[in-house]
Amino acid sequence: MRLNPTVAGALLAALGVGLGAFGAHGLRDTLSAADLATFETGVRYQMYAALALLALGAGGRRGAWGPLLLAGAVVFSGSLYLLVLTGPRWLGAVTPVGGGLMIAGLLVAAWQARSGAGGRA
């Protein structure tokens, strides 16, 4: 089954809104300012990835960029959420892997758009 970037982007955005509200209202009194800022960074980058998936998907583009971008958002934001909520600091070393996947997904999308590869849905 192929990834539908519009569906993935919409679901990722909905989850981002929910997690943002949870962080702002449910975690505000329990987390340190630094941990809350880390959680918010996860939400922000999750939303960036969601918006990219929605925009590129709405343009009818499909390709390797979608799974890379989605995986990057899950690894980047997920590692930050887990780091803040569960405490293992080693998760901070995983976060850049997710960032690299998101960057790779966006670069692949740019390459495919420039070269005409990765046709329309």
Question: What are the boundaries of each domain within the chain?
Answer: 5-111
Instruction: Give the whole-angstrom CA distance, residue 45 versus residue 37.
Output: 12
The per-residue DSSP string of 55-82 comes to HHHHTTB-STHHHHHHHHHHHHHHHHHH
* pTM for the predicted model, two decimal places: 0.89
Q: Which amino acid is at 8?
A: A
CA distance 5 to 25: 30
Sign of dihedral through CA atoms 99, 105, 107, 110?
negative
Q: Please give the backbone phi and psi of residue 118, each rounded to the nearest 5 degrees, phi first.
A: 65, 70
- 3 state SS of 9: helix
Residue by residue, pLDDT tens for the chain (121 residues) are: 688 999 999 999 999 999 999 999 999 999 999 999 999 999 999 999 999 999 998 887 778 899 999 999 999 999 999 999 998 889 889 999 999 999 999 999 999 888 876 555 5
